[in-house]
Structure 1
Amino acid sequence: MNARTRREAIRDLLRTRPVGVDELAVRFDVTASTIRRDLAVLTEAGEIVRTYGGALAPGGEEQPLHERETLGGVEKAAIAREAERHIKPGQLLFFDAGTTVGALAARLTSWQGITVASTGLTTLNALADAEGVELIALGGVVRHISQSTVGPLTELVLDVLTADAVFLSGDGVTADRGVCEASAEQVAVKRRLIEQAGAVYVLADASKLGRASSHWWTPLPPEWTLITDSSATEEQLAPFRALPGVTVLVA
């Protein structure tokens, strides 16, 4: 099979489900480096969206959270370390759902004197036994694929609660549109989290920068902070750096 045929087959496969580099290498009997080159070509052509460890089709199937937890561990850990530097004792914080925000939560288990209110089951599980952290579950309907709470009950709590800062995640983030997600319910909750928080931090690894793979959007306020990882290119970062109210931190 030549490179062109293999890339067409990869593109067609990704229309059905997200696929990892190792699986593709075995399937097409080539090296992982060859697959990465194929994915780079398809990404440049706008035919696929890269993820850590693999790829998916633009606007394609949403990847379950338990699968995303195994991807990009080093990058998520670096982002979490940087994000932790912006937390102070005595604060009340909103934590969005997502694996990178969950990695930040896991770093707070020994903290004392902070309050975390979260829509993410990953965060709630990470801090369930952290006696020094007051933990508030922002209840609602559990969206199983993202392990998050959404809906009117979640939004009702946010009508009466404010936070010093919110740490957000998303399927993608762009400088002009904000954060994208797979459903209207998710972005509705994100809007309330932002409206009720003093400072806004978006935790997004390099694969999510400029990515618009989902169709529901949460606009970001004039001033916010992007925390990403060192694999982000200057081309990816330039649109965010050009915004006067945006602080870009590379972990």
Structure 2
Amino acid sequence: MKDSRINEMKEYIEKCGTVSMEDLSKEFKVSLVTVRRDVSELQQAGLIEKVYGGVRKKSGGNLIAFEEREIRNIDGKMAIGRRAAELVADQDIIFIDSGTTTACVVDFLEGRQVTVITSSLEVIEKAVKYDNIELICVTGIYNKTTNSFAGIDTAEALGKYNITKAFMAASGVTIESGITHASPWEYDIKTTAVKKTGHVILMADESKFDVVTLVTYCTLQQVHTVITDVRPPEEYVEYFEEQGIDLQVAGRQ
């Protein structure tokens, strides 16, 4: 009976595309505990993906093109960017990771003398407009999907610098798998940034929670501040409190 239900659940998720845990509980007339157990088995088998508040059919784990990601939840990303910029002080040396959310930090840095280190073309294009920003570009081979530069030389170049704060992006965030990214292309530069800074700031909107993608570049224990647009599920709120991680909910502009 259990195997039959799980197979039917898989087919139902594939038909719906994305579905909440509550809907699965009602559809199959089982408790949320049972739903989570069944979903966990489907996820471990690589048949579905967890998303914020529910699950979706397997998409193959490919990173969505930068241009498409850039227009998704723009209000939430701008609010996160504004809140993140409030953490930047005069004379800070900050690393800004590649990503559509992290790039929003630059829009709110006017008036502070800061050094920005980045491999993101989007960040570079924004930062050159501001006289108060000293810009250091760690370049390499350009990747159109991530709109950034990466490679062995890129990570080595970054490793030379001291970083006050690192503003990091994510494709997925879970307690078990930590901070994950859909492209292994940027793994070395992300791990280097986390290693070199004394303050890791994760910028992730609500869609990133309960999602696991290809590679883990950072554990949640290595994060000092999490900035998001919507209060995450309670298990994350409790975990952040236990670990002394500063959770900031920026809302949406």
Query: After superposition, what is the alpha-carbon deviation per residue over 1:121-155, rounded to whole angstroms, capped at 9, x for unaligned?
Result: 11111112111111111111112101121111211
For residues 8 and 195 of structure 1, what CA distance do their matches in structure 2 show?
A: 40
For residues 16 and 223 of structure 2, what CA distance do their matches in structure 1 show?
A: 40
Against the structure 1 CA distance between its residues 133 and 9, is the aligned structure 2 distance closer, same or farther, given a 3 Å change threshold? same
Higher relative contact order (CA 8 A, sep 6+): 2
The residue that corresponds to 1:67 in the other structure is: 68
Pairing of 1:201-240 with structure 2 (within 5 A) = 201-212=201-212, 214-220=213-219, 222=222, 224-240=224-240
The residue that corresponds to 1:176 in the other structure is: 176
Aligned-residue offset at 1:235: 3.8
The residue that corresponds to 1:82 in the other structure is: 83
The residue that corresponds to 1:242 in the other structure is: 242
Against the structure 1 CA distance between its residues 56 and 171, is the aligned structure 2 distance closer, same or farther, given a 3 Å change threshold? farther
Query: After superposition, what is the alpha-carbon deviation per residue over 1:83-117, rounded to whole angstroms, capped at 9, x for unaligned?
Result: 11110011110000001101111222x23411101
The answer to whether the Cα contact below 8 Å between 2:199 and 2:224 also exists between their aligned partners in 1 is yes
Query: After superposition, what is the alpha-carbon deviation per residue over 1:26-72, rounded to whole angstroms, capped at 9, x for unaligned?
Result: xxxxxxxxxxxx63347975634548xxx773553221111011111
Q: Which amino acid aligns with 1:63?
A: I
For residues 204 and 236 of structure 2, what CA distance do their matches in structure 1 show?
A: 12
Q: Which amino acid aligns with 1:187?
A: Y
Aligned-residue offset at 1:119: 1.4
The answer to whether the Cα contact below 8 Å between 1:228 and 1:249 also exists between their aligned partners in 2 is yes
1:9 is the counterpart of 2:15: yes
For residues 97 and 166 of structure 1, what CA distance do their matches in structure 2 show?
A: 11
Q: TM-score, normalised by structure 1?
A: 0.76
For residues 144 and 9 of structure 1, what CA distance do their matches in structure 2 show?
A: 32
1:39 is the counterpart of 2:19: yes
Counting aligned pairs with the same residue, the percent is 25
Q: TM-score, normalised by structure 2?
A: 0.76
Q: Which amino acid aligns with 1:64?
A: A
RMSD: 2.6
The answer to whether the Cα contact below 8 Å between 2:91 and 2:115 also exists between their aligned partners in 1 is yes
Against the structure 1 CA distance between its residues 250 and 112, is the aligned structure 2 distance closer, same or farther, given a 3 Å change threshold? closer
Number of residue pairs the alignment of both structures matches: 217
Pairing of 1:37-186 with structure 2 (within 5 A) = 39-40=19-20, 41=23, 45=39, 47-50=48-51, 57=58, 59-108=60-109, 110-186=110-186
The answer to whether the Cα contact below 8 Å between 1:116 and 1:136 also exists between their aligned partners in 2 is yes
* Gap runs ≥5 in structure 1: 12-37
Against the structure 1 CA distance between its residues 102 and 162, is the aligned structure 2 distance closer, same or farther, given a 3 Å change threshold? same
The answer to whether the Cα contact below 8 Å between 1:165 and 1:199 also exists between their aligned partners in 2 is yes
Q: Which amino acid aligns with 1:101?
A: T
What secondary structure sits across from 2:194 in the alignment?
A: helix
* Gap runs ≥5 in structure 2: 1-9, 25-34
After superposing the two structures, state which structure 1 stretch, 121-130 or 227-236, moved more.
227-236
Q: Which amino acid aligns with 2:196?
A: Q
Q: Which amino acid aligns with 1:149?
A: F
